[in-house]
Amino acid sequence: MDLPLRARLRAGDADAFGRLFDEHAATVYRHAVRVTADRAGAEDVVSLTFHEAWRLRARLRPDGDSVLPWLLGIATNVLRNTRRAARRHQAALARLPVRDSVPDFSDEVVDRLRDAEHLRAAAAALAQLRRTEREVFTLCVWTGLDYAAAAEALGVPVGTVRSRLSRARARLRTLAEAELRRPPLKEKIR
């Protein structure tokens, strides 16, 4: 490598750094593959090596024949740091308590499916209620308003809220049970 290219590298010339990468990335990669026996890990080492080379470019000696020894020195340090981090990671995992078994979550999945089915049936049944019953039900049951607050929100007497809610609950129970007995509709594929 000629001296002007080294000087351009030290000065942070992106084109010179691109040329450096083009000329030596494959050599750094082969070195990393041989050391790690891991192609994906070697790709990470190349990336980290050239990242560090860019960061440390001012430390590149202005004289010399090739920058390959400098790059391979950086790669060696990256490999060392990578192995050290892997050992620390393994040691941390070894300190974790060992679980005897993997929890069985199939009952939870079945419960969620059943809940989804019940929610679908409730929504379908709610849609069949009269608007006035649906409004009282959603305000009192789902939103949690008391009778007086629901009456104020709807502009009706408290007694009307009570009677509508009683009718809505009875109808909703009957309609929801009927919905649950119906086979689910298959969605059309378009």
The CATH architecture one would assign to domain 115-184 is Orthogonal Bundle (1.10)
Q: Which of 13, 78, 73, 18 has its CA nearest to residue 47?
A: 78
* Rg, C-alpha atoms of the chain: 35
Q: What is the pLDDT of residues 56-83, one digit of tens each?
A: 999 888 887 788 888 999 999 999 999 9
Residue 10, C-beta contacts closer than 8 angstroms, at least 6 positions apart: 57, 58, 60, 62
8-state DSSP, 186: P
Q: What is the pLDDT of residues 136-183, one digit of tens each?
A: 988 898 888 899 999 999 999 999 999 999 999 999 888 888 888 887
CATH 1.10.1740.10 segments of the chain: 1-96
Please tell me the predicted confidence (pLDDT) of residue 185.
61
Neighbour tally for 177: CB within 10 Å = 11
The answer to whether residues 64 and 6 touch, using CB atoms and an 8 Å cutoff, is yes
CATH 1.10.1740.10 correct for 1-96: yes
Please tell me the predicted confidence (pLDDT) of residue 1.
45
Q: What is the pLDDT of residues 40-54, one digit of tens each?
A: 999 999 999 999 999
